[in-house]
Structure 1
Amino acid sequence: MTSPVSTQPMDPSGPTGRLCQWIDSMSLSDIPESIKTRAKYLILDGLTCALVGAHLPWSEKATNAILSIEAPGVSEVFGWERKISPMSAALLNSTFTQGFELDDWHSEAPLHSNSIILPALFAAASTRDSKTAGSSFLLAYLIGLEVGPRVGKALYGADILTQGWHSGAVFGPSASAAAVSKLFSLNAAQTEDALGIACTQACGLMSAQFESEVKRMQHGFAARNGLLAAILAKGGYLGIKKVYEREYGGFLEMFSKGNGRNPQFLIDEVTKGLGEKWQTENVKIKPYSAMAATHGAIDCVRKLQAERPEEMKRLGDVEKIVLEMGEVEFHHGGFEVQRPLTSTGAQMSAKYVAVTQIVDGKVLPPSFRFDMLERDEVWSLVERTTCVLTSGLAKWGQRVTIAFKDGTKLSAEVAAPRGVKPDLSNEEIVAKWKDLTKGVINDARRDRIEKLCFGLEDLEDVMELSAELAGITNNPIA
């Protein structure tokens, strides 16, 4: 006689087991209305980024390469009017969402949740025989938002960036697998399998930030791998049990090796505050098209431009620019850059981004077109800019000092960038959506997507929203 299959995790009282039981037990009614409302605006921001990114040059390069080997499938490719396999659709749609450094990030455990969770969920929904209600989609999305950062906080959050790992690509498979497991209504044991399969695929090298295009795709690996993990678990395939707390070869044990911390990792963070403290509240929305750790420098320059507008126009008289920043910001964005520079390298560089704000008065997609990356007036200032690791600044604080040839010095400091303190409001997210999609999609389509997004809880089938995303979009920097 075959033994009955357990629906419980291997160790229900352990960190992995408790997390899986929480995922299994959660319903939409357990989540505060304010969190559900904010989540719909976060989703809209993710869709903004995906549509804007769908036909960027590097997105088209990746898409054409994958379409050349893909047979027709069931999953929409956003902005392309093509359906392919769920795995490849999740990979590409994530790559679009991460395509221009416009997407969300988590302030305590850096990952770009929308580029991980949304592509995986839309692909997962396309595989189902029955309709996927918008309410089920929203619940699964929120599960992903809660799980990914908790896994990251167990590894000291942004600390992993200083070790050279791409944090979101490491934390992300857990978020994707958890979200899709919930959408598939997997029980706690199956969810444990999904997380175990997802975690063994986690990886991402932060050296991708310099000249590569693959930095744009690394969250896509997380989206795809978490989706694969949940599909395998749904089919009965067994994953690593107790994956977070295992001493030999466990996820936290391996990704924390050599970090010099004591304790090496924070296992309690995996389940700390579940259902009480909402990590969704720490998802931040970017006002600028650049890596989040550069935003403090941008805001310092904006402050100087507002307070000393005439001096800030004297670009030819600038002798030296000094950007002071903390450890994470310095390691992530304080690197040296050389001409020629790719758009990825430019958007990750504190030097280049700060100078872009000085020259253009804004940091948005058009500044990173290939021709714009070759401007002499920008490079002349970049060459006079230095990044300095500075202690004593606030957690997100940065300071910019500009010295002129006549001895004048202008200095500005911010304790935290816009989008962190204060957060972008829901109204500002809508304004970002309308501004960035202008010319990318028509107004009627924009209004339909916005209506479906905000009415998600009453939507009968989320594939109606997916179909709107699938239509052809325009390249915003063509």
Structure 2
Amino acid sequence: MANTSKAPPLLADEFATHALQSQISDLPAEAITQAKIFILDTLGVGLGGSSAFAADKLIKTTPKWGAGSEATLWGTGKRVPAGVAAMVNAYQVHCQEYDCVHEGAVLHPLATLLPAVLAMAERDGGVTGEELIVACAVGVNVSAGLGIASRSGLTFFRPSTAGGFGAVAALGRIMRLSHEQLVQAFGLQYCQTSGTLQPHIEGSAALPLQVGFNSRAAVQACDLAKAGFPGPRDVFEGLYGYLRLFEGPGKWNLTATRTSLAGKRWLISELSHKPYPAGRATHGGIEGIQALMNQLPKVDASSIESITITGSPVSARLCGRPDLPNPSPNYARLCMSYVGAKVLLDGHIDLAHYRGSQLSDARTHEMAKRIKLISDGQQDPNALVPVSVEMRLEGGEVREWKCEQMLASPTRRLSREQHLAKFRRCWAFSAVALSQEKQERLIGLIDQLEELHDVRELVTCLTPGAAAGVNGKL
């Protein structure tokens, strides 16, 4: 008897259907609210990143890669080709480890996605605020959907690898690609996919640059697909596909991913803020140190003998690195000992702690010797919680703290005041000073994003000059 059963659709087909057919009416109110919050958050951290380490070197190099004035570099106002804008702005978003994260996916989905979408929106026009919300939501379902499918620990740098596919999904939607064109675009993206963890280990600025590379690649993939250039189709489950090569043979499960593609789970609702400018794996330690320092009677940092932070295996692997006497900014942001020492000495961790003489401060490195991050040995290779902190004081007192969910996760969200305070702090680090008027205008535009007729209005707020909208109209 003939077998008449149909083969299941390729994941690329499912991603394309989801990206192209979803509507704003499919999104629950919470997904829309969180999309707006994290669009503003991403714009803020990208703006702050315009003055961060190596951003100037990247911007200085871009004229060698083609002329054009299609899109804007946030924080400087320079005009460049759309692909270059996507690359530079994505670097700026991720280069300070301050961008939002999907913890279960171990992924920063908007870092790769939003710069590409806004660059294309500037170039081609016709993108409304409503379309931006939906594009971000479907893109996060694709990139974070790949992350939550993984059952293996990080081998490649998922924010750039999986993040690029999320950017393609969002771009395919706003560019109105056909279903087949979007499938081909996923294939063309896969041909460019990159992202190694080696820069993470070394503390190299090449780590966020990989996010930029994949954002630019998404622009190129969608342009090529729209022109009719063919790409491979079976790019996720295929013999040499993404899941087998980047996540490991057999080490994935697409059940939860397909739930999100059916519209039953919107992963943008599950994003976490970064309340501190440091690797997310340090955040439980930061909060615990602050809590224990503030317990009564309060203690002076000099009376602390040791602090042991116990986190998940991935946390220890990513941020349990040894302190260095004069680390690069990118190394320091991912070093629990360095970050914890700043918190002990100053009561908080700030963008300014990774600049200038702060990095070589002798007191910081002396204090860092007392802090370590170790693994709890749990089996989940992607978990970031629980986190516990043990503080030993001179005289024998031991203080302890533990959390099951870190601050700013979906179950412990930042208040609007905290969210805006972070945004305004990032604003202060723009490479070129921007006005208070533009700051407030951008907040207002995002609050009413569903009503915005042209998202290029958002970009005008991220550039120096008069606070004018598209075509000079507010």
Distance 1:101 1:242 in 2: 33
* Residue identity (%): 23
1:6: which partner in 2?
none
**Between 69-78 and 295-304, the greater mean CA deviation after superposition:** 69-78
Question: 1:471 offset after TM fit, Å?
Answer: 2.3
1:214: which partner in 2?
206
1:226: which partner in 2?
218
Change (3 A) 1:226 1:439: closer
Matched, 1:175 2:166: yes
One of 104, 120, 124 as aligned partner of 1:108: 104
Matched, 1:154 2:185: no
Matched, 1:74 2:70: yes
2:133: which partner in 1?
138
2:246: which partner in 1?
255
Distance 2:153 2:398 in 1: 36
1:39: which partner in 2?
35
Question: 1:14 offset after TM fit, Å?
Answer: 3.3
**Secondary structure at the residue paired with 1:102?**
coil
Distance 1:360 1:112 in 2: 28
One of 391, 401, 410 as aligned partner of 1:402: 391
Residue 450 of structure 1 aligns to which amino acid in structure 2?
I
Question: 1:191 offset after TM fit, Å?
Answer: 1.1
Runs of 5+ in structure 1 lacking a partner? 1-9, 474-478
Residue 133 of structure 2 aligns to which amino acid in structure 1?
L
Matched, 1:14 2:7: no
1:204: which partner in 2?
195
Are the counterparts in 2 of residues 40 and 454 from structure 1 also a CA contact under 8 Å?
A: yes
Change (3 A) 1:46 1:472: farther
Question: 1:11 offset after TM fit, Å?
Answer: 7.4
Deviations 1:292-323 (A, max 9, x none): 01101001101102214532x141x3332222
Are the counterparts in 2 of residues 12 and 21 from structure 1 also a CA contact under 8 Å?
A: no
Change (3 A) 1:437 1:34: same
One of 293, 300, 305 as aligned partner of 2:281: 293
Matched, 1:305 2:293: yes
| Equivalent runs, 1:66-465 vs 2, <5 Å | 66-128=62-124, 130-156=125-151, 159-161=152-154, 163=155, 165-209=156-200, 210-246=202-238, 248-257=239-248, 263-274=250-261, 275-308=263-296, 310-311=298-299, 313-315=300-302, 317-391=303-377, 396-420=385-409, 421-438=411-428, 440=430, 441-465=434-458
Question: 1:404 offset after TM fit, Å?
Answer: 3.1
Change (3 A) 1:39 1:392: same
1:4: which partner in 2?
none
Are the counterparts in 2 of residues 324 and 398 from structure 1 also a CA contact under 8 Å?
A: yes
Deviations 1:96-125 (A, max 9, x none): 111211110111102212211110001111
Deviations 1:187-228 (A, max 9, x none): 221111111111232221212123311122221122111221
Distance 1:386 1:251 in 2: 35
Residue 364 of structure 2 aligns to which amino acid in structure 1?
V
Question: 1:277 offset after TM fit, Å?
Answer: 0.9
Question: 1:397 offset after TM fit, Å?
Answer: 1.7
Change (3 A) 1:309 1:86: farther
Deviations 1:350-407 (A, max 9, x none): 1211222111101111121121111111111212323222246995122222223433
**Secondary structure at the residue paired with 2:168?**
helix
Deviations 1:62-92 (A, max 9, x none): 1112235542321111111211111111000
Question: 1:235 offset after TM fit, Å?
Answer: 1.1
Question: 1:179 offset after TM fit, Å?
Answer: 0.4
2:471: which partner in 1?
none
**Secondary structure at the residue paired with 1:411?**
strand
Distance 1:318 1:61 in 2: 40
Change (3 A) 1:310 1:31: closer
Distance 1:381 1:270 in 2: 44
Are the counterparts in 2 of residues 15 and 271 from structure 1 also a CA contact under 8 Å?
A: no
Residue 272 of structure 2 aligns to which amino acid in structure 1?
K
**Secondary structure at the residue paired with 1:305?**
helix
**Secondary structure at the residue paired with 2:405?**
coil
Are the counterparts in 2 of residues 449 and 468 from structure 1 also a CA contact under 8 Å?
A: yes
Change (3 A) 1:309 1:62: farther
Residue 331 of structure 1 aligns to which amino acid in structure 2?
R
Change (3 A) 1:347 1:237: same
Distance 1:319 1:181 in 2: 55
Distance 1:392 1:57 in 2: 35
**Secondary structure at the residue paired with 2:333?**
helix
Question: 1:430 offset after TM fit, Å?
Answer: 2.3
Distance 1:390 1:26 in 2: 41
Aligned residues: 452
Change (3 A) 1:269 1:314: closer
Deviations 1:396-443 (A, max 9, x none): 122222223433322222222211241224443223223432474321
Question: 1:256 offset after TM fit, Å?
Answer: 2.6
Q: TM-score, normalised by structure 2?
A: 0.90
Distance 2:206 2:115 in 1: 17
**Between 74-83 and 265-274, the greater mean CA deviation after superposition:** 265-274
Question: 1:183 offset after TM fit, Å?
Answer: 0.5
